[in-house]
Structure 1
């Protein structure tokens, strides 16, 4: 006669309890990963704008306003408290940057772009645009505090040496007047309660060198 083994009721309860404990430990870990993903995603795209600027020299002797076309990382804050950013260059020096002037997301081959008139009003991203730039929708970031060299600008632009500039739309001649004089500090604030660890983090872009790093976690 063969013996048959089965779980007792006590063993089943024990397994369920253990699984519940493991699940409760995993949830905060997932939240921390989302916060870390936001840090990595935003910082990598600021650095991408710098790399694009270094590799794409924009000097044009025939156009005294050529510095307006620097590659830049630019944030937009919609009236409904939704925030997104783009990585673009505005090559044609018009009022708004276009989709085809923007960088390609290396992760999904879509544009690091969102159109203000479209996304701010509808909340829907264009199918050709990367959702990583929609930092309120994707990560729960509700506001950005800007201090130092970027306190009065919506963007950080970079020249061919990787140096950060702000206010480049005001360039009328190539005099480097808007070269960033102070380190730029960008503090990203999360919506309360959306993730377990909703404490803000700060990304710093150093003046002159353009070195970008997380200065406060």
Structure 2
């Protein structure tokens, strides 16, 4: 890590010490975020904001306030009920732990193509997603850290595009909501994404996307 990055971490730590007094964010739930590795947690927010200390600090304060306002630290104790509704949500939001990499990183499989997100309201899918994030951070990653004897704070995600159709565009609202939550409150938690079983429609859309990016950048 460069000297500039180390200095940024030092400044960030200083700001957070002040924040505990000014914003009263030194609450017990902070442990759920860093799991005993506070410096590494700060680095995630710094990376998410290109090592801009002020922006990373604001991002973290906003995240802590979001957790308090939405009682995120208690969300695992609030199951989706009744059971039939929970099962309907999980059956249409296909996400699960499929194993570990050679380096010990949890591998999360996501059935993008077959997830329909159409069995409940957006709020239930958001709740389910946050619960999976919290379970990953509080249980899966600490367990991997203990098992492999080194700090593991990220995972790998395999995006299975089997069954992907144009109708998936109807899910853009809920997927945008979930993505925004991850970007703002769970930054830098995925080390690598792998896309598998991509049908032609995905390849075609991806090529169009790349062409549009090229035109925007070089026009």
Structure with a larger share of its residues in strand: 1
Same fold (TM over 0.5): no
TM-score by length of 1: 0.23
The structure whose Rg is larger is 1
Q: Given the two structures, how large is their TM-score scaled by the length of structure 2?
A: 0.23
More helix, by proportion:
2
